[in-house]
Amino acid sequence: MTLRAYRWELRKLLSQKRTFLGLGAVVVIPLLFVTALVLNPPQGERTQFFFRYVTETGWAVPLILLVFSSIWFFPLVTALVAGDIVAAEDQNRTLKTILTRSTTRTSVFAAKVLAAFTYALVALLLFGLTSTVAGGLASGFDELPTFTTVISPGRAAVLVAASFAVYAMPVLAIAAIGVLLSTISKNSAGAVVGTLMVSLTMQLTRIIPGLDGDGVQRLMLTRQLNAWQSLFREPIDWSPIVHGAWVSVVYAAVALVIAWLHFVRRDVVA
Amino acid sequence: MSAVAVEARALRKEYGPRVAVDDVDLTVHRGDVYGYLGPNGAGKTTSLRMMLGLIHPTAGIVRLFGNDPVDDPIVALRGVAGFVEDPTFYPYLSGRTNLELLSGLDGGVDRARIDEVLEIVELASRAGDRVRGYSHGMRQRLGIAAALVRRPQLLLLDEPTTGLDPGGMRDMRELVRALAGEGITVLLSSHLMVEVEALCNRLAVIQRGQIRFEGGLEELLGRADGRYRLDTTDQGRALELCRAAAGLRDVSQENGEIRFAAERSAAAALTVDLGRAGVGIHALVPEGATLEELFFELTEETAE
């Protein structure tokens, strides 16, 4: 039953411009970055570690784009669909239409969560593939310097893929927060902006006295967006990744349980 | 399956201090075309939403063929379809794709059935167009199609002719009549007396969340039996005799005519009295009230 609803959620997503706005952006941004890189190679000191090597090896391109996109770009892309997926039913007043068919509220909710997650993962995959291919075409697939050593192109490919997998965990947690805001606010624009604001606020806590300590920052979802960087140490430091996994799971679980309870208990009056 | 299609007992919905539905009892039997009649804001739509499991009752129960639509919507809504307020669809999808989606949620897309219902509601030629471009009447008809696609035994329709032009209203009523003729039980919410009178065999009248009447249409219309209109050669004398006569009630004079309520025997005795008094009778006409008159009588007698 959930799979049927999930299939139809995907079909609805594929019929909406908003979906392609986000997916288009994850393809265009890496292409613009690489084009700028080719036309105007960066000069002088570069503070971001992987940025130093973008003209030497294409493997550095997806990694530096992961760093840059953590601030607002990927949270926004994720929020575009997650923040809309329940609220759009309220705005179109279609919730009553689907909830009077042979399905349960839990199945409809689960299908929406799965669809929002699917979209976020597809966006991340497209972002990774585009940035890797474009980076490779521009700078070649050569050896990649890491924080501790230099790795072969083969190992770089594995670690870049793993980086995107690790990055996906907090992205899915952000999607869950988007679904929560979408469910509670019943307003697409509010939920999309709200999700982005949650992410940006977490980023801002880094510069707020009292919240900038490591104890608090370790609990911020945005910190987990950079956990993948520990893959580029020899030996790999797994503790930030494991920590990022459970922090992401806690955020996602809390958001989804609250959203689910609200969804199954609410009165559909519109 | 239960012989009772819809059963509500002490059904109640409160929104804070406001009581939208106040201990409603109603029974729709299988095969009924049941009118749920009330002015706007009387509680019809809220009742229907509870019947469809869209909102949770504050108290009381509702059963569809014996099953609870809130606790077990899949079982309770099996064989049940309809819409509340107006039917709504995904505007960026075509009418046909919307039906496929809903059919898919029901368990599998039956394209032959979708073609069939699109023909029934006369939307086949526009089925490929996005719903965004549909007129109100087309959306109403698509709403009926969405209900029919699951081959319902019970249709819950909330003011299906609202917003339609006269031709659209006529077509919609004919469609509802045809569906009822196929044996589908229909619960039709409406504030239009003519609609209920034309289509329904039983009805409930709701006002301010409370049921004022439930029963057969004939039973309600029969309530008005026993009223008479009298025109004589001497209305002044006749009025005196009416007021003095045993068994006559509510005697009044309106626009020159005398009106009263009485049993048949009392009315017959009055004619004898009039004759003895030398008053000629031009007309003594039993009056039946229209549903509209009875509706206002029922809904206004308790109004503040």
State yes or no: pLDDT of B303 exceeds 50. Answer: no
A133 in a domain, yes or no?
yes
CATH code, domain with B245: 3.30.70
pTM for this entry = 0.85
Q: Residue B90 and residue A94: Cβ atoms within 8 Å?
A: yes
pLDDT at position B224: 63
pLDDT at position A52: 84
Residues 6+ apart with CB under 8 A from A208: none
Counting the structural domains of chain A, the total is: 1
- Along the 270 residues of chain A, how does pLDDT read in single tens digits? 788 899 999 999 999 988 999 999 999 999 999 999 999 888 777 678 888 888 889 999 999 999 999 888 999 999 999 999 999 999 999 999 999 988 899 999 999 999 999 999 999 999 999 999 999 999 999 999 988 889 999 999 999 999 999 999 999 999 999 999 999 999 999 999 999 999 999 988 888 888 878 888 899 998 999 999 999 998 999 999 999 999 999 999 999 999 999 999 999 987
Q: Residue B304: pLDDT band by 50, 70, 90 thresholds?
A: very low
Q: Give per-residue burial for A3-28: e unless 16+ CB within 10 Å, then b.
A: ebbbbbbbbbbeebebbeebbebbbe
Q: Residue A12 and residue B78: Cβ atoms within 8 Å?
A: no
How confident is the model over B241-285, as pLDDT tens digits?
999 998 898 899 988 899 998 888 899 999 999 999 999 999 998
- Picking from B55, B74, B88, the nearest residue to A97 by CB comes out as B88
State yes or no: pLDDT of B153 exceeds 70. Answer: yes
**76-115 in chain B: CB under 8 A from chain A:** 77-78, 80-84, 87-93, 97, 101-102, 104-107
Identify whether residues B199 and B85 lie together within a single domain. Answer: yes
Identify whether residues B270 and B127 lie together within a single domain. Answer: no
Interface contact A14, partner B, CB < 8 A: no
Q: What ipTM does the predicted assembly reach?
A: 0.86
pLDDT at position A40: 87
pLDDT at position B192: 83
User: By CA distance, what is A10's nearest residue in B?
Assistant: B101
pLDDT at position B163: 78
Identify whether residues B272 and B135 lie together within a single domain. Answer: no
For residues B241 and B299, the answer to whether their CB atoms sit within 8 Å is no
- C-alpha dihedral, B93 to B97 to B101 to B104, nearest 10°: -170
Interval B12-33 mean pLDDT: 93
A250 in a domain, yes or no?
yes
User: Cα(B143)–Cα(B127) distance, rounded to whole angstroms?
Assistant: 13
State yes or no: pLDDT of B218 exceeds 90. Answer: no
Identify whether residues B63 and B191 lie together within a single domain. Answer: yes
Q: Which domain holds residue B19?
A: 4-218
User: Cα(A58)–Cα(A192) distance, rounded to whole angstroms?
Assistant: 33
For residues A108 and A9, the answer to whether their CB atoms sit within 8 Å is no
B20 in a domain, yes or no?
yes
Among the residues of A49-187, which ranges form H helices? 60-69, 73-82, 87-92, 95-99, 105-139, 153-185
Query: Which secondary structure element, helix H or strand E, spans residue A264, and what is its range?
Result: helix A239-265
Identify whether residues B144 and B79 lie together within a single domain. Answer: yes
Q: Cα dist. B161→A144, B175, B181 in Å? A: 70, 11, 19
Counting the structural domains of chain B, the total is: 2
Q: Residue B90 and residue A101: Cβ atoms within 8 Å?
A: no
